Amino acid sequence: MKKGMMVSGKYWLFYLVPALFFYVVFMAYPLLDSLKLSFFSGNTIGSRTFVGFDNFITLFTDPDKSTRYWEAFIHTCIFFVIHMLVQNSLGILFAVILTDRTMQHRDMYRTIIFIPTTLAVLITGYLWKLMLNPVWSGAMLEKIGLGFLAQPWLGNEKTALPLVALVSCWQWVGIPTMMFTAAFQNIPAELIEAGRMEGASSWDLFRKIKVPMIMPVVGMIAILTFVNNFNAFDVVFAMENVNGAPAYSTDLIGTLFYRVGIAGQHPVGIPDTGLGAAIATITFIVLCAGVLPTLRKTQTKEA
């Protein structure tokens, strides 16, 4: 005990070492290395040459590459907006319902909402792909009188991206629901009680007391949604293909990056790591630019 007191100034630093080690080796170093890579051309250590900003210039001036990039960028924004609107609104709604005093069988509903989150995207994506495919679900839909729903949803350029996004919302809606539920439960009962005494309606309670109290969580969820969706890749990979079929309409920055930087375009399959790293670097900058102001705006209220 005495010994512990003696080094009390710095001893906690040792506890950080394992985490710091893994963070540096597996997060910080690869991140910095990938930033560095974006200034080089060539795929392997031996053939790498410094090219300055050439990768970025190619990405935005080559007509084919810039079209692909900007289309992917817009699709990613749409993908993100759909998540914000559908997934997070549903999350708040579910949380309000789940924390309502009159709610019965709370645990059961909570489990149902959270189950998809625990499943692998490749599996849920594939299941939805089959369900949205008229070849497999058409007969069943016709039997129950919903034959008009048997459309090639994922093969149509107009419906593919919204549907892929909605499947992703379905899968992840459990996370915001959980976080909002926890936030609502943390609101001191006295505040609600006091509001009631003053004659506030349920809507007033929600708008004037509950929402301001959960603002830090709203900010956190917005950031999580933003970061996850700008890195999204798996759901498109599972439901469409790495080209973002049909006709690149579901091509996200994630799939574009995979095609350019990791796998290479089929069938030649020679990746351009420099260009891929350039795409990743821009995404990193976009994420920082989005996350930092949101953090500042929503997290200061905690103090």
Ranges within 119-138 binding other proteins (CB under 8 A): 129, 132-136, 138
User: Angle at CA 83, nearest 5°, toward 128 and 118?
Assistant: 55
Contacts of 88 (CB under 8 A, 6+ apart): 176, 221, 222, 225
Is residue 47 involved in binding other proteins (CB under 8 A)?
yes
Is residue 243 involved in binding other proteins (CB under 8 A)?
yes
Query: Quick one: 89 or 156, whose CB is closer to other proteins?
Result: 156
DSSP state of 302: G
Is residue 272 involved in binding other proteins (CB under 8 A)?
no
Ranges within 139-178 binding other proteins (CB under 8 A): 150-157
Could you tell me the smallest distance in angstroms from the CB atom of residue 60 to other proteins?
19
The sign of the dihedral angle between the CA atoms of 42, 45, 46, 52 is positive
Contact pick of 83, 164, 174, 240 for other proteins (by CB under 8 A):
240
Q: At what angle do helices 273-299 and 215-230 cross, to 10 degrees?
A: 170
From 91-99, 179-187, 214-222, 262-270, span contacting other proteins (CB under 8 A): 262-270
Indicate the residue type of 49: T
How many residues of this chain bind other proteins (CB under 8 A)?
Answer: 37
Q: What share of the chain is helix, strand, coil (3-state, %, to 5)?
A: 75, 0, 25
User: 1-5: long-range contacts (C-beta < 8 A, 24 or more apart)?
Assistant: none
Question: What is the C-alpha separation between 76 and 226, in angstroms, rounded?
Answer: 10
Question: What is the C-alpha separation between 185 and 120, in angstroms, rounded?
Answer: 29
Could you tell me the smallest distance in angstroms from the CB atom of residue 262 to other proteins?
8
Query: Quick one: 273 or 283, whose CB is closer to other proteins?
Result: 273
Is residue 276 involved in binding other proteins (CB under 8 A)?
no
Contact pick of 144, 268, 289, 303 for other proteins (by CB under 8 A):
268
Is residue 246 involved in binding other proteins (CB under 8 A)?
yes
Is residue 263 involved in binding other proteins (CB under 8 A)?
yes
Question: What is the C-alpha separation between 19 and 28, in angstroms, rounded?
Answer: 12
Query: Quick one: 185 or 265, whose CB is closer to other proteins?
Result: 265
Could you tell me the smallest distance in angstroms from the CB atom of residue 91 to other proteins?
29
Is residue 231 involved in binding other proteins (CB under 8 A)?
no
Could you tell me the smallest distance in angstroms from the CB atom of residue 148 to other proteins?
13
Question: What is the C-alpha separation between 185 and 91, in angstroms, rounded?
Answer: 14
Query: Is residue 51 helix, strand or coil?
Result: coil
Contact pick of 44, 61, 102, 118 for other proteins (by CB under 8 A):
44
Residue keyed to tokens 């107009």: 158
Could you tell me the smallest distance in angstroms from the CB atom of residue 135 to other proteins?
5
Which chain residues interact with other proteins by CB under 8 A? 43-47, 129, 132-136, 138, 150-157, 240-241, 243, 245-248, 262-271
